[in-house]
Amino acid sequence: MPEAQAQAQAPSHTPGLPPLYTPQPQSPSRQGFDFHTSDSDSASAAHDGTGTGTAHSPSRTGTAASQRRTSNPPPSIISPAFTPPATPGFTTPSQPRRPPRSIPVDTSRTSDSPRPELLEELPVVECEVRARIPTTTGHEMWLHVYRNNVDTKEHLAIVFGSQIRSRSLDAERPGETELDRMTRGAYVGRLYPGRMSSRVEAIKRAEGVPSKRTPGQPAPTDPAESPSPSPDQPLASPSPSPSSAASSENGDASPLPLPLPLVRIHSECYTGETVWSARCDCGEQLDESARLMADPVLSPSGGAIVYLRQEGRGIGLGEKLKAYNLQDLGNDTYEANVLLRHPADARSYGLATAMLMDLGLGGDRGIRLLTNNPDKVRAVEGPRREVVVRERVAMVPLAWKTGGKQGIKSEEVEKYLSTKIEKFKHMLDQK
Ligand SMILES: [Zn+2]
């Protein structure tokens, strides 16, 4: 489709705005994560920070998003479309979407790189509240707000699908009423006007009323149907999914285990996620992560984005802006941090490990981690391998995969990604 036409189909909230990199209002039409494109999450591992980020999201690249919807993406220059070719119209896929390519990981084997320094004790975390968030893509996610005993920030978990639930949220609290429980999000099923019990679905099940959903087919619109009975239970046992268990009872062929839940650890990047910065690719990575997790075909076991409030690789927004100025003076991301006497990467992931455990994602079953950063794999696993990363799913920058037709385009983001590769050892897949 001609580009002019494609632009004509751009979201209506952008009339008159030049396409790329023009700040657009974060209106509902921000396509949040762009489900229309696909693959990559490129360099997000080191995302943020001082780096030059990339703008990730569709809103940030309104035109790009509309182009993606209206034309097939050109072949990737990097990895031959390891993620599904963009399917126009996410809601009506004409063909099955291929899952993102995973790379098996086993950090229990000795490796060249030393395990990163991790705090001996994981922080104590508690999910304070959760709510259902319908998104502009038509999918829903469950936003979880966490408190912890090491800082005062509200770290977040963005959960897709119905299988992943917070243990600390579901736990009974002394003296609370059913309304209290529903108010803080500790309910199963969905809320509706007049609902009196947080446990309606559970009661129905106890009475033998069959669940309306097919096991193994998470319905984005109806998450959280089953409260997780106890911590560790779902994940500790690599037991087959309910659906596969059922099929084996019928003597069918060996059950197909569901893919492991997808997980992304994402550090806050105000510039890249909110104010349209093209210095880094954080927004693009966030959008891509959400796109993969919200797709029941690509991620049938659901997924969780642990969103840590550690701006600028942990140095804060003010220092991050200084680093940008140093970059404009000719330094790269890494050098800028060193000049400011910050560690190249001040982030820590103990909170993420603790939150994943609370979400039932700890234990032997393991997870698939969306990252390009091998060090992140080990950091997320925790000091005693409380979380097990079974597979790593790389995220290739959209611009690379599409030969620059999509994704963030800026001189800064190219430098940022180069620095990531050279100095942070990110393993962007260039095969
Ligand atoms: Zn960023």
Q: For ligand 1, an ion, list residues with CB under 5 A.
A: 48, 53, 269, 272, 280, 282
Q: How far is the CA of 44 from the centre of ligand 1 (A)?
A: 8
User: Which positions are catalytic?
Assistant: 345, 347
Q: How far is the CA of 212 from the centre of ligand 1 (A)?
A: 41
The pLDDT of residue 418 is 75
The pLDDT of residue 208 is 73
* 64-73, 80-89, 363-372: least confidently modelled range: 80-89
Beta bridge partners of 125: 148
pLDDT score of 221 more than 90: no
Spell out the residues 6+ positions from residue 27 whose beta carbon is closer than 8 angstroms to its own.
Answer: 13, 59
pLDDT confidence band for 113 (50 / 70 / 90): low
Tokens for 298, please give them: 């690509």
Single-letter amino acid, residue 132:
R
Q: How far is the CA of 53 from the centre of ligand 1 (A)?
A: 4
pLDDT score of 28 more than 70: no
Tokens for 291, please give them: 């796109």
Q: How far is the CA of 346 from the centre of ligand 1 (A)?
A: 14
Q: Compute the average pLDDT of residues 256-279.
A: 93
Angle at 248 between CA 246 and CA 250, to 5 degrees: 80
Q: How far is the CA of 269 from the centre of ligand 1 (A)?
A: 5
The pLDDT of residue 207 is 62
| Measured CA distances, 361 to 133, 178, 220, 238 (Å) | 21, 27, 19, 12
- φ, ψ of residue 357 in degrees (nearest 5): -65, -40
* CA Rg value for the chain: 21
| pTM of the predicted structure, to 2 decimals | 0.67
Q: Print burial letters for 345-356: b (CB count within 10 Å at least 16), e (below 16).
A: bebbbbbbbbbb
Q: How far is the CA of 84 from the centre of ligand 1 (A)?
A: 25
Q: How far is the CA of 177 from the centre of ligand 1 (A)?
A: 42
Tokens for 294, please give them: 């919200």
pLDDT confidence band for 238 (50 / 70 / 90): very low
Q: What is the DSSP letter of 428?
A: -
pLDDT score of 424 more than 90: no
Cβ neighbours around 47 below 10 Å, total: 37
Q: Say how many residues make up the chain.
A: 431
The pLDDT of residue 367 is 97
The pLDDT of residue 52 is 38
What is d(CA 300, CA 48) in angstroms, rounded to the nearest whole number?
A: 28
What is d(CA 318, CA 341) in angstroms, rounded to the nearest whole number?
A: 14
pLDDT score of 277 more than 80: yes
Domains of the chain: 97-171+258-310+348-430 (3.40.50.10990), 314-346 (no CATH)
The pLDDT of residue 393 is 93
